[in-house]
Amino acid sequence: MNRMPLRIATLLAATLAAWQPSKAQAGEEDTQFWLNAIATGKIGEDTTLTIDATQRWRGADEVGADQQTIRVALDQQVADRTRIGGGIMLFDTAGLTEIRTHQQVTFTLGRVEARTRLEERFFDGADRMELRLRQRVTYNQPLAKDWRAVAGVEWLGIVQSRSRDEGTSTEQWRFQTSLVHRVNERLDVGAIYWMVVFPRGDQPARTSHIPQAVITYRF
């Protein structure tokens, strides 16, 4: 009997079980669930195209309505350990739109990967374009045949706010862990957990718990 569907179902069920959309600690915490679909593959020598889409069930008035996103990105391998890339992303949140472009450079050293990304964010009704800088470090650990785990941390900082009366700031910290299973040479499935912390000055920080399910197809 083929046990592959059972393994996939078990992995996704573990992620779904972690989703409890409730309000905690007087609205200072929330729980969301995201479903990610990714298609990626080579389109030329050392050039990779990635298209990804997400449905984000956010389930809390404090963080806003559910979101849908789609992104197209290109990455170019320019050295043994270095990639550069860029892309564009569209967010829809209850009819409000954000268009986001980005440029990035990624360095890999063994199982450690460091990424620096600059984003230009355009919001409906904003005073101006927002600039956000992101610094991420991840560690990849093989666990068994066709299984791997990933852990990482990312800092996101506002360089130029969309509001003219606001300055630079740390927008959030993301602490990430995931478990990924390679089904075959073209398909991966995974379960992801993010703890996202939003500093709020003198007020207590806000925390979002975001379990996710991801399906990745390689063409």
The pLDDT tens digits of the residues spanning 155-181 come to: 999 999 999 999 999 999 999 999 999
**pTM of this structure:** 0.87
Find the helix or strand (DSSP H, E) in which 12 lies.
helix 4-17
Instruction: At 54, list the tokens.
Output: 């997400």
Instruction: Examine the pLDDT at 210 and tell me if it is beyond 70.
Output: yes
Q: Is 13 helix (H, G, I), strand (E, B) or coil?
A: helix
Residue-range definition of the domain harbouring residue 91: 4-218
User: Do the Cβ atoms of 178 and 193 come closer than 8 Å?
Assistant: yes
C-alpha 147/C-alpha 141 separation (Å) is 9
Q: How confident is residue 27, by pLDDT bands cut at 50, 70 and 90?
A: low
Query: What secondary structure does DSSP assign to 123-150, as a single string?
Result: ETT-SS-EEEEEEEEEEEEEEETTEEEE
E strands present in the chain: 23-24, 29-31, 33-44, 47-57, 67-79, 82-93, 96-109, 112-123, 130-144, 147-160, 169-182, 187-200, 203-218
Kind of pairing between the strands at 33-44 and 203-218: parallel
User: Do the Cβ atoms of 44 and 52 come closer than 8 Å?
Assistant: no
Rounded mean pLDDT of the chain?
91
The pLDDT tens digits of the residues spanning 57-99 come to: 997 666 889 999 999 999 999 999 999 999 999 999 999 999 9
Instruction: Examine the pLDDT at 183 and tell me if it is beyond 80.
Output: yes
Scored b (16 or more CB within 10 A) or e, 84-115 reads: ebebebebebeeeebebebebebeeeeeebeb
Specify the number of domains making up the chain: 1
Burial class of residue 147 in the structure, from the number of CB atoms within 10 Å of its CB (0-12 exposed, 13-18 middle, 19+ buried): middle
For residue 119, the domain's CATH number is 2.40.160.40
**Closest of 121, 188, 111 to residue 152, by C-alpha:** 111
Computed on alpha carbons and rounded to an integer, the radius of gyration of the chain in Å comes to 18
